[in-house]
C-alpha cells in the first residue's frame, strides 16, 4: 500500500524539448545539440531533414544548460545555412523565444545580440543556473519559492 509520501503531486523530473529547423542549400551546417553536457543530436545524415526535436529528462531541482554548437560551416559555398531554434519547452512551458534575452551566442563573427538564428560557427547557450521553477518565478517576477 502506498503512503501519502509515495503519492507526490509533483513529478521528480521535468522534460525539456528542443525544436530546431534548418536553412541552407546543402542542408544545415554541422552541429550538435547538448543538454547538461550530454549530446542529444549529432548526426551527419540530416541533409534532407527539415527539423529535429530532442528531448531530455532532468531532475526537478537541478540546473539546466542547453547548448547548440555549430562547426565547420562552409561560408563560401553555403553562406545562408543555419540552425534555427523554433522552440524550447520545459514541463509544458514555452521558454524560447520568450526568454531569448537569457541566451548567449559565442561565435566566430562576434555576433552578440540574442538570436534564435544560428548561422555562424560557435556555441549558442541557454543556462538556467538553479531549479527550473525557482528560476521561472524570478524571471516572471512572481515572487520567490522556498528552498527545500
Please report which confidence band the pLDDT of residue 98 belongs to, taking 50, 70 and 90 as the band edges.
very high
How deeply is 75 buried, as exposed, middle or buried, from its count of CB atoms within 10 A (0-12, 13-18, 19+)?
middle
Interval 28-38 mean pLDDT: 90
Interval 96-119 mean pLDDT: 94
Q: Which residues contact 3 (CB under 8 A, 6 or more apart)?
A: none
pLDDT of residue 87: 96
Tell whether 145 is covered by a domain.
no
pLDDT of residue 101: 95
Tell whether 67 is covered by a domain.
yes
pLDDT of residue 35: 95
Into how many domains does the chain fold?
1
Is residue 70 within 8 A of residue 31, CB to CB? The reply is yes
CATH of the domain at 108: 2.60.60
Question: Which residue reads 534532407 in cell numbers?
Answer: 48
Tell whether 4 is covered by a domain.
no
Tell whether 123 is covered by a domain.
yes
pLDDT of residue 114: 93
* 5 backbone dihedrals φ, ψ, rounded to 5°: -70, -25
Q: Supply the pTM of this predicted model.
A: 0.86
141: DSSP letter: T
Percent of the chain residues topping a pLDDT of 90:
57
Amino acid at each position: 500500500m502506498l503512503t501519502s509520501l509515495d503519492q507526490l503531486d509533483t513529478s521528480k523530473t521535468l522534460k525539456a524539448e528542443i525544436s530546431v529547423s534548418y536553412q541552407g542549400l546543402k542542408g544545415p551546417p554541422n552541429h550538435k545539440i547538448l543538454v547538461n553536457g550530454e549530446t542529444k543530436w549529432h548526426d551527419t545524415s540530416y541533409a534532407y531533414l527539415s527539423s529535429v526535436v530532442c528531448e531530455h529528462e532532468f531532475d526537478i531541482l537541478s540546473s539546466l544548460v542547453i547548448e547548440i554548437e555549430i562547426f565547420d560551416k562552409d561560408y563560401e559555398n553555403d553562406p545562408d545555412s543555419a540552425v534555427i531554434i523554433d522552440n524550447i519547452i520545459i514541463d509544458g512551458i514555452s521558454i524560447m523565444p520568450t526568454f531569448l534575452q537569457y541566451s548567449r551566442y559565442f561565435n566566430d563573427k562576434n555576433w552578440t545580440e540574442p538570436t534564435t538564428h544560428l548561422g555562424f560557427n560557435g556555441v549558442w547557450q541557454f543556462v538556467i543556473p538553479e531549479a527550473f521553477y525557482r528560476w521561472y518565478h524570478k524571471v516572471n517576477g512572481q515572487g520567490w519559492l522556498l528552498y527545500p
